[in-house]
Amino acid sequence: MAEIAVNLEGVWVSYNGATILEEVNLAIEVGRYVGILGPNGAGKSTLLKVILGLIRPTRGEVRVFGETPAKLRLSGHGAGYLPQHPLRNPRFPVTVLDVVLMARYGRLGLFRHPRREDRDMARRRLEDLGIAHLANRLIGDLSGGEQQRVFIARALSAEPRLLVLDEPTVSLDVCVQDEIFELVNTLKEKLNLTVLIVSHDIGGVAHHVDDVVCINRRIHVHQRPPIGRLGLENTFGCAVEYLFHGEIPHRVVKAHDD
């Protein structure tokens, strides 16, 4: 039997009387590259935060590598996380290397300076992302694609077993999006990671991942791509039409009359 990296059983999340997640049951095997799809407000980011232990479910059980998310975070070997908005102040004068080193402070503790081994780890991750030459550049001077590579390097600098990426390709052009998807796949293999990636690009993510999870409050689909029409309609809440490149839909639009 395959080892399970992430396991949710009967998970509900409510906030101010509104249900965000409803009876979510999900098991993700170790080493899988999983794309998470759904409309705006479907609970995708909430699902990630439940897995990371940043949100406690109203009810239900969550285990990551057999531990509660809180216990795994204390171990220092849990998850690397790239949130939707990692750069709050693009003018903040911090170098690329310093950004990547931020992930090491969880191991060091507050007010302790990075050690040589921490700097070596940060530089290795920059090399993995192909941006070692940017180490001394200011983060705000980089392009969007370069910045996302830096933030992925930061997430990986924590030496996680689980990499969680919340819409890492948003606002990037199509070619750069595809590079990011493929780069993450390469890193998954090299570093023996389990990867969860939220995306709105159905075709892009389906072309690269092992499994697709479609969510809209509850899980509607969890399978290998391609995704069928019924699963998408249940997830997005309307009849849909496909636009194809080859066998995989790269966009889904609401069905309409001519």
CATH, residue 25: 3.40.50.300
Average pLDDT over residues 223-230: 73
Identify the domain boundary among 137, 159, 181. 159
pLDDT for the residue 221: 85
pLDDT for the residue 207: 81
Residues 219 and 168 reside in one and the same domain: yes
Number of structural domains (the chain) is 2
| pLDDT over 80 (residue 245) | no
What whole-number percentage of the chain has pLDDT above 70? Answer: 84
Give me 185's structure tokens: 């796949």
Taking a C-beta distance cutoff of 8 angstroms, is the pair 36, 9 a contact? no
pLDDT band at 39 (very low <50, low <70, confident <90, very high): confident
Residues 100 and 146 reside in one and the same domain: yes
pLDDT for the residue 247: 44
Number of helical H runs and strand E runs in the chain: 9, 11
Identify the domain boundary among 159, 175, 192. 159
Residues 53 and 96 reside in one and the same domain: no
Residues 1 and 113 reside in one and the same domain: no
If you average pLDDT over each of 70-74, 79-83, 100-104, 168-172, which comes out highest?
Answer: 79-83
Residues 93 and 66 reside in one and the same domain: no
Tell me the residue range of the domain where 42 lies. Answer: 1-78+160-258
Average pLDDT over residues 231-239: 61
Higher pLDDT, 164 or 233: 164
Higher pLDDT, 149 or 103: 149
Residues 105 and 148 reside in one and the same domain: yes
Q: Could you give the CA distance from residue 206 to residue 196 in angstroms, rounded to a whole number? A: 13
| pLDDT over 80 (residue 130) | yes
pLDDT for the residue 108: 61
Q: Could you give the CA distance from residue 173 to residue 194 in angstroms, rounded to a whole number? A: 26
Residues 18 and 2 reside in one and the same domain: yes
Residues 57 and 116 reside in one and the same domain: no
pLDDT band at 231 (very low <50, low <70, confident <90, very high): low
Residues 48 and 70 reside in one and the same domain: yes
pLDDT for the residue 235: 67
Lowest mean pLDDT among 60-64, 102-106, 220-224: 102-106
Residues 134 and 170 reside in one and the same domain: no
Taking a C-beta distance cutoff of 8 angstroms, is the pair 124, 130 a contact? no
Average pLDDT over residues 208-215: 91
Neighbouring residues of 178: CB distance < 8 A, sequence distance ≥ 6 = 204, 207
pLDDT for the residue 71: 86
Q: Could you give the CA distance from residue 51 to residue 192 in angstroms, rounded to a whole number? A: 19
- State the average pLDDT for the chain: 85
| pLDDT over 90 (residue 106) | no
Identify the domain boundary among 124, 159, 194. 159
| pLDDT over 50 (residue 251) | no
Residues 71 and 196 reside in one and the same domain: yes
pLDDT band at 213 (very low <50, low <70, confident <90, very high): very high
Residues 111 and 69 reside in one and the same domain: no
- Gap between the terminal Cα atoms of the chain: 50
pLDDT tens, residue by residue, 20-35: 999 999 999 999 999 9
CA 17 to the chain's CA centroid: 27
